[in-house]
Amino acid sequence: MNKLTEKSFPEGFLWGGATAANQLEGGFQEGNKGLNVADVLPGGKGRLQILKNPGFDFEINTEKYTYPNHEAVDFYHRYKEDIALFAEMNFKCFRMSIAWTRIFPNGDDPEPNEEGLAFYDRVFDELIKHGIEPLVTIAHYDMPVHLVKNYGGWRNRDVIVLFERYVKTIFTRYKDKVKYWLTFNEINSGHEMPVQGLGFAIQEESDKYQPTFQAFHHQFVASSLAVKYCHEIIPEAKIGCMILYIPTYSIDCNPANILYAQQESRFLNNFCTDVQVRGEYPSFIRRYFKEHHIQLEIQDGDLELIKQYPVDFISFSYYMSRTEKREKDASEAMEGNIVAGVKNPFLDVTEWGWEVDPIGLRITLNELYDRYQKPLFLVENGLGANDKVEKDGSINDDYRIAYIRDHIIQMKEAIEDGVELMGYTSWGPIDLVSAGTGEMSKRYGYIYVDKHDDGSGTLERKRKKSFYWYKNVIATNGEQL
């Protein structure tokens, strides 16, 4: 089939699931692993508020809080069983991240930690044994705490050299096993969630602009270096950026609202992507920098490096859309994945208040492809929901099947629109710890894990109804939905 007649998923489409080390592995102090940001984040709905507290000290306080990421769902010990289940579902691809602190426990250690390197060798070998392609995120919300406390996170330019050491180490070690890489998970979320994305806490809202954008600049340089070394060390590999994409609608046809929605969208969805894909700071950001008194420190050679080493493809997460209006009061604010606007009267919401919008995915795919003309990879999408285990042990998650099915239909439409889509890895194919709230009860999986918000549970794995459904979707390359 050529691109002009393509009406379905291309051959070799990378179906699978996506995870992150800190939400999946557990074993937070095993194998000489050092502490990372996720290890010090308390569980529960108040997590984001605690993070926004100017006094947040990146310390563990077990008397006050619980820390679900410490054990997570114990992939560290159960990876063989879990990968066998992914293989049973016909996965072609598995997105995972390497925990930086398993490789460099403090971030600035002169030598890597062999136990950490060997762990990922075992995981990659197991995936390859089952014919599953690893797709590896280099940094997924887990900066070493030592770099946070002693360097100030990504604000500090010295972190670039440490990151360079880390990426060279993993590219060299895994060059025969991993052909798909991603740089920073949801890099653009750093503006809203600097603790997780950029490795520092903001004290005052008004103080956030200069350090946030300086940290972004350091990440852009680091990302270009990762592309450079990836191509040098593994010439046949592809490396992508990873962004949080939320298409932004205007509440109505008032031009003032349309303009506002356009500006919000460009800021969230395009700023980082423009730099990482086009290799240049977009012109629209100049005005923002001026109005917020941001003066980046850019060293000689930085901009040339960014221009010379853009990413090969664009990966992104898509969970919801957002609807905006220029003037709104706080009572109108919606819940959402990191950012949210006002209520869209045409959309239902999940139990966690995220608006469900499959057509928004088609809009997203078209917006991204029109602007960048680079291959796209949807590496996160899914429904966080409470699941009920019936008396007979079954879990009938028809709502999850409906959500994923509706989104796959829109992916198919977008492919017909001419979009080049490499694959689909839905979020959390096995239940794992939520990033936003640290809850276990917000489940995304096709595989249920017996683990609960209070830390209880046997960690036993069970196949949900969606497990069998997704297995067949992959077996038919998306023809039977």
Q: Which residues are catalytic?
A: 186, 380
Q: Taking CB under 6 A as the rule, does residue 434 contact ligand BG6?
A: yes
442 lies in the site for ligand BG6, by CB under 6 A: yes
Quote the distance between the C-alpha of residue 363 and its chain's center.
20
**Binding status of residue 191 toward ligand BG6 by CB under 6 A:** no
Main-chain phi, psi angles of 415, to 5 degrees: -60, -40
340 makes contact with ligand BG6 (CB under 6 A): no
DSSP assigned state of 275: I
For 9-115, strand residue ranges (E) read 14-18, 93-97
Binding ligand BG6 (rule: CB under 6 A), the pick from 25, 380, 397, 431 is 380
Does position 427 interact with ligand BG6 (CB under 6 A)? The reply is yes
Identity of the residue, 211 or 428, whose beta carbon is nearer to ligand BG6 in the bound complex? 428
CB of 234 to ligand BG6, least distance (A): 24
Q: According to the binding rule CB under 6 A, does residue 246 interact with ligand BG6?
A: no
The residue to which tokens 């330019």 are assigned: 157
387 binds ligand BG6 (CB under 6 A): no
H helices of 58-202, in order, are 75-88, 100-103, 114-129, 145-151, 158-174, 194-198
Residue 292 has, within 13 A of its CA and on its CB side, a CA count of: 17
**Looking at 69, 317, 321, 364, which residue binds ligand BG6 (CB under 6 A)?**
317
For residue 338, the minimal CB distance to ligand BG6 (Å) is 6
185 binds ligand BG6 (CB under 6 A): yes
Q: How far is CA 328 from CA 257, 292, 333, in A?
A: 11, 22, 8
SS3 113: coil
Say how far apart CA 47 and CA 209 lie, in whole Å.
23
Residue 357 interacting with ligand BG6 (CB under 6 A): no
Handedness of CA 259, 261, 262, 268 (dihedral sign): positive
Residues 16-45 that bind ligand BG6 (CB under 6 A): 20, 23
CB of 197 to ligand BG6, least distance (A): 10
Whose Cβ is closer to ligand BG6: residue 41's or residue 85's? 41
Least Å from the CB of residue 391 to ligand BG6: 28
Question: How many C-beta atoms surround the C-beta of residue 129 within 10 A?
Answer: 12
**Angle, CA of 171, 142 and 385, to the nearest 5°:** 115
Give the one residue of 341, 360, 436, 445 binding ligand BG6; rule: CB under 6 A.
Answer: 436
384: contact with ligand BG6 by CB under 6 A: yes
Please state whether beta strands 461-463 and 447-449 pair in parallel, antiparallel, or not at all (unpaired): antiparallel
Choose which of 113, 337, 344, 466 interacts with ligand BG6 (CB under 6 A). 337
User: Which residue lies nearer to ligand BG6 by CB, 322 or 325?
Assistant: 322
Span from 97-105, 298-306, 431-439, 447-455 in contact with ligand BG6 (CB under 6 A) = 431-439
Determine contact, residues 28/75, Cβ cutoff 8 Å.
Answer: no
Q: What is the smallest separation between the CB atom of 17 and ligand BG6, expressed in angstroms?
A: 12
CB of 467 to ligand BG6, least distance (A): 20
Question: Of 323 and 434, which has the nearer Cβ to ligand BG6?
Answer: 434
Closer residue to ligand BG6 in complex, CB, 20/361: 20
245 and 322 Cβ atoms separated by less than 8 Å: no
Phi, psi of 187 (to 5 degrees): -55, -35
Question: ∠348-378-402 over CA atoms, to 5°?
Answer: 35
Residue 404 in contact with ligand BG6, rule: CB under 6 A: no
Residue 71 is classified by DSSP as: T
Angle between helix 209-233 and helix 158-174 axes, rounded to 10 deg: 30
Stretch that binds ligand BG6, among 81-89, 157-165, 428-436, 446-454 (CB under 6 A): 428-436
What's 376's DSSP letter? E
Binding residue for ligand BG6 (CB under 6 A) from 25, 39, 142, 186? 186
Contact set with ligand BG6 (CB under 6 A): 20, 23, 185-186, 244, 317, 337, 380, 384, 427, 434-437, 442
